[in-house]
Amino acid sequence: MSTSALPSQSRDFPAWYGEVVRRAGLAENSAVRGAMVIKPYGYAIWETIQRELDDRIKATGHENVYFPLLVPASVLAQEGKLIEGFAPEVALVTEAGGKKLDEPLAVRPTSEALIWSTYARWVQSYRDLPLLYNQWANVVRWELRPRLFLRTTEFLWQEGHTAHETEQEAVAEALTILHDVYADTIENVLAIPVVRGRKSESERFPGAVDTYTLEALMRDGKALQTATSHYLGQGFPRAFGVRYTGRDGREHHPYATSWGATTRLVGGVVMAHGDDRGLRLPPRVAPHQVVIVPIVRDDDRAEVLRLAAAVADELRTADVRVRLDDRSEVRPGFKFNEWELKGVPLRIELGSRDLATGAVTVSRRDTGEKQQIPLARVTAAVAELLSDVQASLLESARAELERRTLRAPGGYNELIEYLRDAVGFVAAPWCGREECEAQVKDDSSATIRCLPLDEQQPERGDCVCCGRSAATTAMWAQAY
Amino acid sequence: MSTSALPSQSRDFPAWYGEVVRRAGLAENSAVRGAMVIKPYGYAIWETIQRELDDRIKATGHENVYFPLLVPASVLAQEGKLIEGFAPEVALVTEAGGKKLDEPLAVRPTSEALIWSTYARWVQSYRDLPLLYNQWANVVRWELRPRLFLRTTEFLWQEGHTAHETEQEAVAEALTILHDVYADTIENVLAIPVVRGRKSESERFPGAVDTYTLEALMRDGKALQTATSHYLGQGFPRAFGVRYTGRDGREHHPYATSWGATTRLVGGVVMAHGDDRGLRLPPRVAPHQVVIVPIVRDDDRAEVLRLAAAVADELRTADVRVRLDDRSEVRPGFKFNEWELKGVPLRIELGSRDLATGAVTVSRRDTGEKQQIPLARVTAAVAELLSDVQASLLESARAELERRTLRAPGGYNELIEYLRDAVGFVAAPWCGREECEAQVKDDSSATIRCLPLDEQQPERGDCVCCGRSAATTAMWAQAY
């Protein structure tokens, strides 16, 4: 690990991000451009996210399945908007088993096509509905400007694909996933506050009637789309010939949803909470919630290590994820820096003075605060502190989101200036026409991140761009 | 679900297997030849296997990582034996992002090449060793004769890749994985007894010095290789230029292992335990350990369902995976058949007579035995029965393995006849020469499954094939 300081966030956020991801051991580039190697520390974070999402996906009645990686090009092309949207990013297998294939196989960029062509066999009667399936998988999208976790040629995700009898049921499903699975995980586990909204038409998933999204604010003022849930209407069922006999004895197409969250969330955790010293991990997602650093002298080494191990055991018994850093080849100061860089929420220092006084020093990564805790109270204090760190990170990110959101800008110029400087979100009335959306993008390179679900009524009557009567409130920002 | 009888195992085992897999809802073929769709019930079994393996992989000190799917062809070709072994099965991406690629990318058939080319950057000093990493991933191998779960173009697996300072440590690692991760899971969770052994040279993994294997016997007398663990020596480290400065200050190559277990294990569970009525799932891997079938009349429906739900809740509280089948559109007899086909270990029938007597009928799927259990004792009785079913399935599979293993055949003719008829394993002395191995294969189409670890000393002095002095005992069988 390099011991030099990280680039400053405020001076060069992209350089800071790249260095933190690399030095904290989250991920690195591979021999294939744009495809990353996820290292143990980064993968441990992803595993926690997976577990949390998976528990909620199952709790809301879904089952996991697995569909093939390779999709015949003709199947992928069967739904017009999907292929139009993904064609520029598809990777094609043209040879296999030593022979040229009769038909190229696409490496799945998403699985709607293969899944709906299969659902055609699974759905005959309304009794077969709903289908509530999810899969954990890798997908490949040929990215021109790859960036670790945020935009990679291959990424890991879950993708849910459901089929319903009624439109109402399908829309409710898409929203249940948005709120109860994604927002709950992202806010309460990753401590990242999100704006819940729907996408404007130009930003919708190819083939979707409505794309619901959770937009978060990173510490450089740019937005990150953290997860999306799509109400797909009947387009895919129609394109793939999925029909069922309804309660009325007649043939119908089911209504569809799909929804996904990816390894991008790991990048979100880095950029939503990290500071100039490195990561600041929310305890619920931290691979190590507590690191114990013994401070030893030649004459008390055995005794200090024994105590450190006892504290570690006690915490483990209380289901705290503890790392005891008993390396002898590096000094405590080096360890402090390393675990700060890696964002471990709490550090316990423990030396001979503590042996004498019966108390240890506990430091919070998020605030830097230190306190002396009597040994007898360590486990209880750690539990309280962890829950406090978790809440504080969310609270301070929420305050930051509020502070950086400009509501009702004075006029078009203020909107553009704010967006150009990437200060944060602007919430402003919009007429709903693509011309205005494109105009703002041309002038600022910012996009409409979403039309917030809880503010469908415009705050003022007139579109911030054209002055026509506004149809909705839009949230604009620069985005990843 | 079809209500006709399954094909008989003894008359047509392949037809039986295909029908059970399909009708029990484990998997089905997809639009891409040889690639399967894993359906919810099959995937739930795989998830349990994953969790059990993953817990043991972590308990033995390994961490999870993720390496890319696509490997530059030149990287894959860097270790001669690997590419020679896998070239005929590789799928190649030649176009991506709308352009022909300068260099084709192989869809990983296994990840040694990419991982060792990365380890070259990760290992500098003996302090960086050991590297103990595992990944959960999909791989693609172009199979000519695909078969659901057993041999599919794409399959899911975990692959571990470790680097060590010494040969001794690397061999110990390969054996720890074989015994503590794989054999423990396969015998104690899947209830499939295995023969632990090493492969003969002709059956080794390409590039391995030693391939350790766990061979199980299916109910048709054929062997299934359930998991393998390879001691790779220094071949991969050399080929990929992985060097480190040792304790002696000099440069060394580390010693390598790799090891994998796949979705094939689901097929193993089917073929090791299933009977003519369908699956018989060991409780530890069963998605539903108990199914409750209420027997209702028009006048007691509400009351019976209330009691059924109460029993289900009580069992769930005791961490039993329960399914309450309260469908009204099908009759109890239909449900019995369906859950027998799906191999649920215990069935509880519950009707008005039971309301009156305060006892329910519990049936075991493995033996068909039924007993009356007082309602007050249901949870305790279910726990005991589940543990008994688990033990019985292992025990009876073990007895079958013993019964079907011919030790020390009378001569070459008996060996060949036994193998041709696929009765089971033959354990016989072997000189160790490839000529004899090839001769037996020519005459019987059976192969040496392994040289058992616990019987390295031949039982008789002479090779069963050539009569020369034997070097070892070999286990032959027809194999999947």
Tell me whether residue B239 is in a domain.
yes
Instruction: List the CATH number of the domain containing B325.
Output: 3.40.50.800
> Coil, strand, or helix at residue B29?
strand
pLDDT in tens, B198-215: 999 999 999 999 999 999
Mind listing the pLDDT tens digit for each residue in A284-327?
999 999 999 999 988 899 999 999 999 999 999 999 999 999 99
Q: Which residues, 6+ apart, have CB-to-CB distance to A250 below 8 Å?
A: none
Last residue within a domain, chosen from B243, B273, B303: B273
Assess if residue A87 is contained within a domain.
no
Q: pLDDT per residue over A190-233, tens digit each? A: 999 999 999 999 999 999 999 999 999 999 999 999 999 999 99
The distance of A319 to chain B (nearest Cα, Å) reads 16
- Tell me which of A37, A100, A141 to substitute to probe the interface with B (most B C-beta atoms closer than 10 Å): A37
Residues B201 and B339 in one domain: no
Asked if residue B197 and residue B69 are part of one domain, the reply reads yes
Is the backbone peptide bond immediately before B130 cis, with ω within 30 degrees of 0?
Answer: yes
Contact (CB, 8 A) for B449 and B225: yes
User: What one-character-per-residue DSSP string does A128-167 give?
Assistant: GPPEEEEEEEEEE---SS-BTTTB-SEEEEEEEEEEESSH
The closest CB to that of A93, out of B89, B91, B137, belongs to: B91
Q: ipTM score here?
A: 0.96
Residue B397 in domain: no
pLDDT at A458: 57
CATH of the domain at A440: 3.30.110.30
Question: What pLDDT does residue B23 have?
Answer: 97
Is residue B51 included in any domain, yes or no? yes
Q: Which two tokens stand for residue A141?
A: 């999208």
Which of A30, A38, A70 has the CB atom closest to B32's CB atom?
A: A70
Nearest residue in B to A71, CA atom: B32
A31 vs B114: CB contact, 8 Å cut-off? yes
Is B77 near chain A, with CB under 8 Å? Answer: no
Cα A23 off chain centre by = 21
Q: Is residue B390 a part of any domain in this protein? A: no
Residues from chain A contacting residue B47 (CB–CB below 8 Å)? 64
Residue B430 and residue B469: Cα distance in Å, rounded? 8
Is residue B448 assigned to a domain? yes
**pLDDT tier for residue A79 given thresholds of 50, 70 and 90:** confident
- At A459, the pLDDT band (50, 70, 90 cuts) reads low
The proportion of chain A whose per-residue pLDDT surpasses 70, expressed as a percent, equals: 98
Distance from CA of B21 to the nearest CA of A (A): 15
User: Which range among A97-101, A455-459, B122-126, B327-331 shows the weakest confidence by mean pLDDT?
Assistant: A455-459
Q: What was the pLDDT predicted at A3?
A: 59
pTM score: 0.96
Do the beta carbons of residue B406 and residue B424 sit within 8 Å? yes
**Which structure tokens are listed for A271?**
């950029």
B399 in a domain, yes or no? Answer: no
What is the arithmetic mean of pLDDT over A118-122?
A: 97
The Cα B138–Cα A146 span in angstroms is 22
Per-residue model confidence (pLDDT) at position A57: 98
d(CA B287, CA B272): 18
Rounded to the nearest angstrom, the minimum Cα separation between A69 and chain B is 8
Give the mutation candidate from A1, A28, A30 for the B interface (greatest B CB count, under 10 A).
A30
> Quick check: A334 contacting B, CB < 8 Å?
no
Asked if B88's CB is within 8 angstroms of A92's CB, the reply is no
Check CB contact under 8 Å for B64 and A44.
yes
**Residue B372 shares a structural domain with residue B414:** no
Q: Chain A window 1-20: which residues touch B at a Cβ cutoff of 8 Å?
A: none
User: Is residue A107 within 8 Å of B95, Cβ to Cβ?
Assistant: no
Residues of A in contact with B97 (CB under 8 A): 88-91, 142, 144
> Over 70: is that where the pLDDT of A2 sits?
no
Does the beta-carbon distance from A156 to B44 stay under 8 Å? no
Calculate helix-pair angle for A264-273, A40-59, nearest 10 degrees: 110
Does residue B253 sit in the same domain as residue B298? no
Q: Could you say which of B32, B75, B156 has the minimum Cβ distance to residue A31?
A: B75
Q: Where a domain ends, among A273, A301, A334?
A: A273
**Cα of B342 vs its chain's centroid, Å:** 18
Helix (H) or strand (E) holding A259: strand A255-262
Residues B326, B236 share a domain: no
> Chain B partners of A142 at a C-beta cutoff of 8 Å?
96-98
Contact criterion met (CB < 8 Å) for B88 and A98: yes
A255 with A357, same domain: the answer is: no
Contacts of A90 in chain B (CB under 8 A): 96-97
Contact A44 B35 (CB under 8 A): no
User: Quick one: average pLDDT of A99-118?
Assistant: 96
Give per-residue pLDDT as tens, B415-441.
999 999 999 999 999 999 999 999 999
With residue A370 as reference, give the H or E element that holds it: strand A370-374
Measured between CB atoms, does A96 come within 8 Å of chain B?
Answer: yes
CB-nearest to A97 from B66, B89, B96 is B89
A44 and A178 assigned to the same domain = yes
Taking a contact as any Cβ pair under 8 Å apart, which residues of chain A between 133 and 172 contact chain B? 133, 137-138, 140, 142, 144, 153-154, 156
Which pLDDT does position B438 carry in this prediction? 97
**Does B362 lie in the same domain as B262?**
no
Please tell me whether residues B115 and B207 are part of one structural domain. Answer: yes
Structure tokens at A223: 């937005």
Q: Which residues of chain B have pLDDT under 70?
A: 1-3, 455-460
B258 and B299 together in one domain: no
Contact status of A37 with chain B (Cβ, < 8 Å): yes
Q: C-alpha distances in angstroms, B214 versus B110, B224, B279?
A: 19, 8, 22
Please identify among residues 57-76 of chain A the ones whose CB lies closer than 8 Å to any CB of chain B.
Answer: 63-72, 75
Task: Please say whether the beta carbons of B348 and B315 come within 8 A.
Answer: no
* A-B Cβ pairs (cutoff 8 Å, strict): 162
pLDDT recorded at residue B396: 97
Residue A169 has what pLDDT? 98
Are A134 and A217 found together in one domain? yes
The whole domain housing A437 covers 406-477
Residues of A in contact with B66 (CB under 8 A): 37-38, 43, 46, 156
> Given the structure tokens 């004075």, which residue do they identify?
A410
Task: Say if residue A413's pLDDT is above 90.
Answer: yes
Q: Give the DSSP H or E segment for B215.
A: strand B210-217
A252 beta partners:
A244
* Same domain? B432 vs B372: no
Give the C-alpha separation, A274 to A269, whole Å.
8
Domain boundary among A333, A355, A387: A387
Nearest C-alpha in B relative to A42: B65
Domain count, chain A: 3
Contacts of B91 in chain A (CB under 8 A): 70, 93, 95-97, 105
Residue A77 forms part of a structural domain: no
The answer to whether the Cβ–Cβ distance between A36 and B69 falls below 8 Å is no
